[in-house]
Structure 1
Amino acid sequence: MKVQDKVILVTGGGNGIGRELVLHLLSKKAKVIAIDRNKSALEETAIIAEKLGYSLKTFVVDITNKNDVEALTVDAIAHYGYVDGIINNAGIIQPFVKLNDLSYSEIERVIQVNLYGTLYVTKSFLPHLLTRPEGHIVNISSMGGFLPVPGQTIYGATKAAVKLLTEGLNSELSNTNVRVSVVFPGAIRTNIMGNSGLSVEEKPISKAEERILTLPSKAAKIIVDGMERNRYRIFVGLDSKFVDLYYRLAPKSAAAFICKKMKGLIK
């Protein structure tokens, strides 16, 4: 689905990939609705958009609240008269600890945002999207959604659920006007730890890490390009593509490789 003149809603539009998705969609002449639970971050995105000459509609919404999401759906559709696509970008990670040391409150928070938030937005907008000449749902999973990452087991479980939710939805909608894409970002240079409410010890980025990390602006372009090409699976970053292939060919070896890489990060 070409995004020009389409109305696209982006969750988590206050920062990181979400903000870059908003700005990139606007640059391609889409009409964008950005939502986020962080009011100040969302306002900052709106200010940046305005300085670039774009008009952006924003809503402060907690996607873990089903009633608020349903109210958002009514308000978003009322603003432009229709919505053509949604990008479920909002997500958080867990503290870098093993499952045995993770509290139930932390577990529930990650599940509520990553899985239920994506589900609520998707299910709430889907009946309307089915009435449009063409529609598109893009759900952001993760490289950790197909590969086990120690210290991020619950995060990975939610992203694996998003992966299968999206793929199942794609099959269910195969004979409709709505296309569905699942995105697998690798390592992206964002403040996801801070945005997840986790304390962060700032460390300098090595040259090797610098080569691996994908800029949020580049990630946004890859995602929107995949959306416009109706891609079933969208990989962001060479690391995501490499690990996907590695895990499919030798899952136990790939899991051991990631486990070794994670040593030192897990408390």
Structure 2
Amino acid sequence: MYRLMFSDLDETLLVNHHVPKVNQEAILKARKEGLKFVPCTGRAFNMIPDILKEIGTYDQAGEYSLCFNGGLIVENKNNKVLHFKGLEFEKAKEIFDNARDLDVCVLVFTLDCCYIFHADEDEIQRKIAQKAKFEVIDDFDISFLKNEKIAKILYEKRDMDYLKVLALKLPQSIQDTCSIAFSSGRYLEMNTKGVDKGYGMRWLVDYLGYDMDETIGIGDNYNDVEMIKTAKLGCAVACARDDIKELAQYVTKKDYDEGAVSEVIEKFVLGEDHE
């Protein structure tokens, strides 16, 4: 029996930054059957309150969220931080300084805010749509964040081929000390080494006293790979790249905007393949 379902948000659960009714209804049914539904996202916690409201877990005790690709684990009631593992400032500064002359927008996430450098207007509009707390910084300098908790840094450009080449050219000192992933067709993401969605899943499962055999993970992109591999039932959305689908035990017939999450719930939690 599956007791925990971890779900990516963008291009998995959400359509236009909201949970469609078909997914809301399936999640509600599953939660009534005892399933814990846990958003597992690269977003900050302060970017997902409306999403939690739509799935019924906002400000609820015993309900949880994994943010920053597993770097932050929160109990939703009173926004209680259970675990945080971010970037040390000197490592963040190295990643940041490396982008000084690159053709990328740089996003530095602290627990409370997203700071945008080399601002891209499309990315600004995306952050507005995501209801993110953000600031555009004109000076290319993060010294003002020295005493802040930095969760991760993203390089953004709507050219994934460029970002993949860029990742290969990162200094070895960054490659050796960071978890590197791609997402949403526009981000090269860097967390501290060992932090990924699989790490966050394992931490929460252990904290709750559950077993990994009781978990489902569903996602679509490269920052979801460790979640898909770690879950007992790893699911890939129909829109996922073929190399991601090959890692999954189940690939949805529906795409994210057709209710891929509801398909998995109906099939494996409520329906014919319910264990």
Where on the TM-score scale, by shorter chain, does this alignment land: which range? Answer: 0.3 to 0.5
- Counting helix residues as a fraction of each chain, which structure ranks higher? 1
What TM-score do the two structures reach when normalised by structure 2? 0.40
**TM-score scaled to structure 1, two decimals?**
0.41
Structure holding more strand per residue = 2
